[in-house]
């Protein structure tokens, strides 16, 4: 699914045009951006609050054959 997000400032001129343009494409949905309030990414957090973790799975134990092609 592809979301075509229209900002509120351009709703009057773009929303109806985009809905009409993508009406035959079921993989595209036109939506309006209605978020309000402060942007949380811009707030400063102390290093003590932030926890960085490695979310990758550990490597399986053992040895593995090479992936190089034979000569």
Q: In sequence order, what are the residues at sequence separation of 6 or more whose Cβ sits closer than 8 angstroms to the Cβ of residue 17? A: none
Specify the higher pLDDT residue, 10 or 66: 10
Q: What is the pLDDT of residues 1-60, one digit of tens each?
A: 899 999 999 999 999 999 999 999 999 999 999 988 887 776 666 656 777 777 888 878
Distance, CA of 61 to CA of 67 (rounded, Å): 17
14 DSSP assignment: I
């Amino acid at each position: 699914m592809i979301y075509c997000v229209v900002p509120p400032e351009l709703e009057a001129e773009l929303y109806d045009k985009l809905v009409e343009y993508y009406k035959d494409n079921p993989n595209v949905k036109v939506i309006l951006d209605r978020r309000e309030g402060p942007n949380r990414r811009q707030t400063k957090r102390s290093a003590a609050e932030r926890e960085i973790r490695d979310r990758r799975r550990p490597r399986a134990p053992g040895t593995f054959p090479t992936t190089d092609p034979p000569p």
